[in-house]
Every structure is written in structure tokens, then in C-alpha cells.
Amino acid sequence: MIVSFLVFWLPFTINILQIPPYPELKSGAFNQSFSLEPFVLFNAILLLYLLFSKTKFPFSRKDGLLVLIIVLFFFPSLINGANVDVKYTVFFLIRILNLTLFYVLLRSCFEKETIFRGVYDALSILVICQFFLALLFPVLGIESATEWFLPGSSKWAAEGRGGRLSAIGIFSHPGNLALFCLISFSFFYSAFLLKVKRRDSIVFLVLSVLTLLLTLSRSGVLGFLFSFSVILYIFKNPNSSLFSLKRIIYISVIGAIVFAVIYLFTPIGEYFQGDNFDEMAKARLVHWFAGFEIIRLHPFFGVGLNTHISYFAAELPILDGFFARSPIHNIHIIMLAETGIIGFACLFLLFSKVFKRSALMVNKEVSVNKKVLNLAFSGVLIAFIIYGNLGWSPFANEQISMVYLLYYFSSRI
């Protein structure tokens, strides 16, 4: 119960205190200030518990290596002469380290089974909440429901898909809800395949898919197709290489069939041809070319983590309005622009290794809970890579918190 309560708040955008105050129109996309989010307060409570209970703080060698990798990855950005606003890099680093501390403290204070059960329960409650909010809007048309958690979100729910009404849940944009649905779907689909609470899991995965469809997120649908295909194939063929010709063909065929069914026989197919499809494509191209300009000027180390929008404002004043304030709608271009070829290559090698480990874990003699987390993380990683080709939402704080949760405990439960 306690773990589920603590995890429940991760995807919420709640900033109790911001230092400095959030500059609404100033550059910087993901972490513009230091914020006292719920998990930061939970860190203080859990640390006090460990102190008064005289429980040993089990900061393992693996945790130490993780922190070292994080700091080393951020270090070039901190000393990068092209970084026009180092404080945004520092704010991002502080948040990642605070998240790491939160997960370390959870592992310190609770048993492995308790943690997994807490994650399962928290995700199930969140899925129910998102589906309920999606029923209120857009199904029942109660637009005020979009303002309950983030004032001002209604404009995206009502206008963010070319005038079509979109589900938004507790988030500020339908894309963020779509990504949460991909996370919850991957988790409950993995639990279903591995026979963990199968009846409950199938209910929650169906609710996740229905909510995803109500977001009208084209990138979300594509991410779902790949996540579904990858998880199913890894489950059935845990020892074969993901990048073998057989696996690529299998995943492509499954994804194509499911996409064809959705495209031809559901209303979702309409917004792949919607009035704003060309408009959104052109807007993305403008951002992509701006990102390529950064990569051309700073190819090796980029301009620093979490600062590409600051760079737009300082060095590319030709961009204005939406383009000057919004992140590039492609996470791969963002990473190349902010960390350069060297940083991007390091990140690619790291995630390739992590993905391979997670995929192979399904066939090892480990607990079923660990298998669920690893299989789910594999699906989420693929879904985010696919979604990230057309959007920046995978780098939103809410998404990073949840994906990092799956990654951390997939190797520690």
C-alpha cells in the first residue's frame, strides 16, 4: 500500500516549489528550475525512516556505478563552451540524481515482492483514473475535466489534433497520456503473458489501449504496434537476436497487420489522413532542420543537455513563436544536438546493452516479477524510440520518471 502510494505520484506534474520560478516564455524545455516534486519529499521521509530505524543504507556497487555513469554523461555538457545556459543542465542532473535516490530508498525500505506489488497496484489505479478521465472528455464532452490537474490543458485536448477532441488525462498534452498508456500496456501485457494476475492484467491492458486510442495520437498508435510485436516475439523467442532477419520480418508483419486492421476498420484511420497531418509534418521539418543546424555547428559534443531551446533563442533568433519555445519533435535529433555524435554513440551502446539484457532475462532462472519488468522495459524502450521519431514527449519529466522506474528495478528485483 505504501509503495503503491509513493509510485502513484510519479507521473503527476506537481511542483510544490520552483527555484527560480518557472519562466513561462523563456527558453528551456524540460527542467527550467529546481522543483520540490513529490518524490523529493518522499526522499526526505524515507531517509528519516532509515535514520531512526537504524537500518543500513544499502547503496550497492551497482548503484554507485549507475550514479558514476550519470555524472560522466552529464560532465561534457557542464564544461561545454557551447552550452548557453548551464543551469538548465544542472537542474536536469539534480532531478535524475533525486530520482535515483528515490528508487534506491524504495529498495532499501521494502522487500522486492512488496515493491513489485506496489508498482503493479499504482499502475492499475493510474490506468483506471486515466480511462475515467478519458470517458469524461472527450467521450462525454465534459471539458472542465481536462483542467482538474493542469489548468490550461483544455486547449490541447480540444484543439491539439486538428480540432478533434482528444483524451488528455492528468497530463498537459494528449501525447503524454499516449506515452503513459504505452508504459502501462507494456507492463500489463508482459504480466499477462507471464501469468501474473492474468485476469486483472488483461483488464488493465485493454483499458490502456482504449485510452490510447482516445488520445488520437498517431505516434502513440505506431509505438503500440511495435511494442505489442516486440514483447510477443521476445516472449516466444527469448534466445534469438532481436536484430536477426527472422525477427525483423516477424515484427514488421505483425505490426503491419495490426496497423492495417486499425487503419481500415476503426475511426483511428481517419486522422492518419486528417486535415492537420500535412501541417504538422511541415512544422516538424522546420524543427528538424534547426536541429540539424546545431549538429552541423557542434557535431562532437553538442550544445549541452537540456539546452537546445536556449540555444535557439541565443544563436538562432530567426526561429520565433512555437518553434522558439517548443522542443524539437524528434528525441534522436535532440540527443544529437545536445550531446553530439560522441554522447549519442555512448547512449546508443548503453541502451543496446540494456535492451539485450532485458530481452534475454525472460529465459533465465529468475523471479517472474523480474521477467515482467524486463519484458515490459523492452517493449517500452522500443515504443519510445518509435514515438520519438515524431515527438519529444518521451523526454517529458513524467515519462522519464516511469521509464527509469522500470529500468532501475528490472535489474534489482
Summarize pLDDT for 373-396 with one digit per residue, the tens. Answer: 999 999 999 999 889 988 888 998
CB–CB of 65/31 below 8 Å?
no
In a domain, 75, yes or no: yes
In a domain, 53, yes or no: yes
- Give mean pLDDT, residues 404-411: 94
- Give mean pLDDT, residues 321-334: 82
pLDDT band at 25 (very low <50, low <70, confident <90, very high): very low
SS (H, E, C) 124-174: HHHHHHHHHHHHHHHHCCCHHHHHCCCCCCHHHHHHCECCECCCCCCCCCH
User: Which range is most confident: 21-25, 357-361, 403-407?
Assistant: 403-407
Tell me if residue 34 falls in helix, strand or coil. strand
* Residue 356 pLDDT > 90: no
Backbone φ and ψ of 321, nearest 5°: 60, -130
In a domain, 303, yes or no: no
CB–CB of 222/269 below 8 Å?
no
pLDDT at position 76: 95
In a domain, 290, yes or no: no
Give me the DSSP letters along 211-234.
HHHHTT-HHHHHHHHHHHHHHHHH
CB–CB of 84/303 below 8 Å?
yes
pLDDT at position 384: 92
CB–CB of 362/240 below 8 Å?
no
Q: How far apart are CA 272 and CA 308, in angstroms?
A: 29
Q: How far apart are CA 289 and CA 349, in angstroms?
A: 26
User: Which range is most confident: 239-243, 267-271, 348-352, 357-361?
Assistant: 348-352
User: Which range is most confident: 48-52, 227-231, 295-299?
Assistant: 295-299
In a domain, 370, yes or no: yes
In a domain, 74, yes or no: yes
In a domain, 101, yes or no: yes
* Residue 205 pLDDT > 70: yes
Task: Give 164's strand partners.
Answer: 161
Q: Round the average pLDDT of the chain to a whole number and report it.
A: 84
Identify the domain containing residue 87 by its residue range.
2-278+317-410
CB–CB of 69/99 below 8 Å?
no
Place of cell 515527438: 391
Helical H runs in 218-361? 218-236, 245-265, 277-297, 308-315, 322-325, 331-360
**Residue 244 burial (CB count, 10 A):** 11
The more confidently predicted of residues 273 and 76 is: 76
In a domain, 31, yes or no: yes
What's the domain count of the chain?
1
